[in-house]
Amino acid sequence: MTTAKRHIAIEAQRIFRANKHGMDFVALETIRELQKRNDGNHYYVFVAPGDDRCLTESDNLTIVELPTSNYLLWEQIALPRALKKYPIELLHCTSNTAPLYCTVPLVLTLHDIIYLGNNKTKGMSMYQQIGWYYRKWLVPYIVRKCKHIITVSHTEKKNILKRFPKIAPILSVNYNGFSSCYKVIPKEENRTIQSYISDNSYLFFLGNTDPRKNTKGVLQAYHYYLQHSFKKYKLIITGISETYAIQLLTELGIISCLPNLIFTGYVSGEDLPALYNGAFAFLFPSLKEGFGIPILEAMACGTPVITSNTSAMPEVAGTGTQLIDPYNPEEIANAILRLEQDESFYLSQVSYGLERVKLFSWARTADELAKIYERIER
């Protein structure tokens, strides 16, 4: 066994939960790449118990499970206590927040600071609202305690510095990547989508009750699309219930769309590549994003992306993608119609996306992270 160059703790509280979301995957994929490096460091990954044992121990990685009743107690009490039991020299908290009391140097990944704005929490679930206000209260205190802060795009770096200009010397950008499971699958091998839809092609949207994901805007755009399209592809929506969607459709006066919508609920990471591959186009018209990993996932699967011209999305998608005003449903719909009506343009979007994703990988993310760890004084 190699003598450890440094003992580094990584907070990855939610990676073992079955229904993982964006920041969980960022932490998990980055840790997997650090584990592969075998660079002399020993990593202690602190997690909450869960059903998805998606990470295993190795000579350079120890998993520490900390059971508690809720996230706040886990982060503010259980984690600081547990750190004292191991020879930890550095703590990296991966998801915007960290313990107020920490006896070792702290590195924080600050994915975004959307919650520090004047955005309203109307439409969010109770769980989302609690997390929103927790971050809104905690982050201004935590950034003062960090030895280094990482964010995921230059766009978000500018936003953070407007709010916290004094942290400029310790703030850096480290792009996210995408998993290798997101790749082109030949149609004859893509049998997974048959359990979701019988149609050969469809539109795809990752739904969410968080208003910034723009579910309302997508539904309005889809209604306009159906009125002007000859193909009238169905729309698969993940992440929201049919009941919730019916409420929105009724409120918007477009309930006639309902027969063309398919609701999958939560889709596992195992099935997502198949759904991206089967889609005619992927819709990602969020109002705000710190990065936008689904853009890369869809592109890597050879699916054209329609995304917003705001926040970090143009930085990730690049100028060759269809960038639309997320507040303009007709513009979203017209982007879909252009793909339908111009085959050469459609094929160019496929090629562009496959080339664009070569700029991003979790290996690069881990390499940069290791350099940051190395720069932190002992």
**CA R_g for the chain:** 21
pLDDT-derived band at 124 (thresholds 50, 70, 90) equals low
Question: Could you report the per-residue pLDDT of 171-203, keeping only the tens digit for each?
Answer: 999 999 999 999 999 888 888 888 898 888 999
Over residues 252-270, mean pLDDT: 93
Least confident of 62-76, 128-142, 280-294: 128-142
pLDDT category of residue 122 using cuts at 50, 70 and 90:
low
Q: Which residue has the higher pLDDT, 49 or 127?
A: 49
CB 271 within 8 A of CB 198: no
The SS3 of residue 73 is: helix
Closest listed residue to residue 224, CA positions, set 346, 324, 301: 324
Least confident window among 88-97, 113-122, 184-193, 289-298: 113-122
For residue 181, CA distances in Å to 61, 225, 242 come to 23, 31, 29
Q: Which of 233, 236, 181, 241 is nearest to 208 (CA)?
A: 241
Strand order in the sheet with 202-206: 261-265, 235-238, 202-206, 279-284, 305-308, 322-324
Residue 245 tokens, joined: 């969607």
Within 10 angstroms of residue 240's Cβ, the number of other Cβ atoms is 20
The residue that leads in pLDDT, 69 or 375, is: 375
For the record, the structure tokens of 334 come out as: 């017209």
Reported as a single tens digit per residue, the pLDDT across 60-87 is 999 999 998 888 999 999 999 999 999 9
Lowest mean pLDDT among 15-19, 189-193, 277-281: 189-193
352/302 Cα distance (integer angstroms): 9
Q: According to the model, what pLDDT value does residue 373 have?
A: 96
Residue 227: pLDDT band with limits 50, 70, 90: very high
pLDDT above 90: percentage of residues in the chain: 81
Domains along the sequence of the chain with CATH = 7-177+361-375 (3.40.50.2000), 187-359 (3.40.50.2000)
Judged by average pLDDT, the poorest of 7-11, 118-122, 199-203, 359-363 is 118-122
What phi, psi does 22 have (nearest 5°)? -50, -55
To the question of pTM greater than 0.75 for the whole model, the response is yes
Q: Residue 1 has what pLDDT?
A: 45
Higher confidence at residue 124 or residue 302?
302
Instruction: Name the residue among 376, 363, 334 with its Cα closest to residue 146.
Output: 376
DSSP, collapsed to helix, strand or coil, labels residue 75 as helix
Tell me the mean pLDDT in the region 210-232. Answer: 95
User: Which pLDDT score, from 0 to 100, does residue 81 have?
Assistant: 96
Q: Which of 273, 92, 288 is nearest to 208 (CA)?
A: 288
- Answer with the residue of higher pLDDT: 117 or 121: 117
- Give 105's contacts (C-beta < 8 A, 6+ positions apart): 89, 90, 91, 147, 376, 377
pLDDT at 268 over 50: yes
Closest listed residue to residue 257, CA positions, set 208, 192, 205, 309: 205
Find tokens 């978000």 and name the residue. Answer: 156
What pLDDT score does 173 carry? Answer: 98
What is the C-alpha to C-alpha distance for residues 335 and 268, in angstroms, rounded to an integer?
Answer: 28
Task: Work out the percent of the chain whose per-residue pLDDT is above 70.
Answer: 96
Q: Which pLDDT belongs to residue 293?
A: 96
Q: Are 215 and 240 in contact (CB under 8 A)?
A: yes
Secondary structure (DSSP) of 26-51? HHHHHHHHHHHH--S-EEEEEE---S
186 and 278 Cβ atoms separated by less than 8 Å? no
Which pLDDT belongs to residue 90?
97
Which tops the pLDDT comparison, 68 or 355?
Answer: 355
Q: CA of 25: how far to CAs of 28, 136, 309, 326, in Å?
A: 5, 23, 25, 25
Q: What is the pLDDT of residue 339?
A: 98
Place 149 in a pLDDT band, splitting at 50, 70 and 90.
very high
Reading the block at residue 82, the tokens are: 């547990």
Least Cα distance to 100 among 145, 68, 45 occurs for: 145
Higher confidence at residue 137 or residue 224? Answer: 224
Q: What is the mean pLDDT of the chain?
A: 93
Closest among 280, 281, 284 to 323, alpha carbons compared = 284
Strands 106-109 and 148-151: parallel
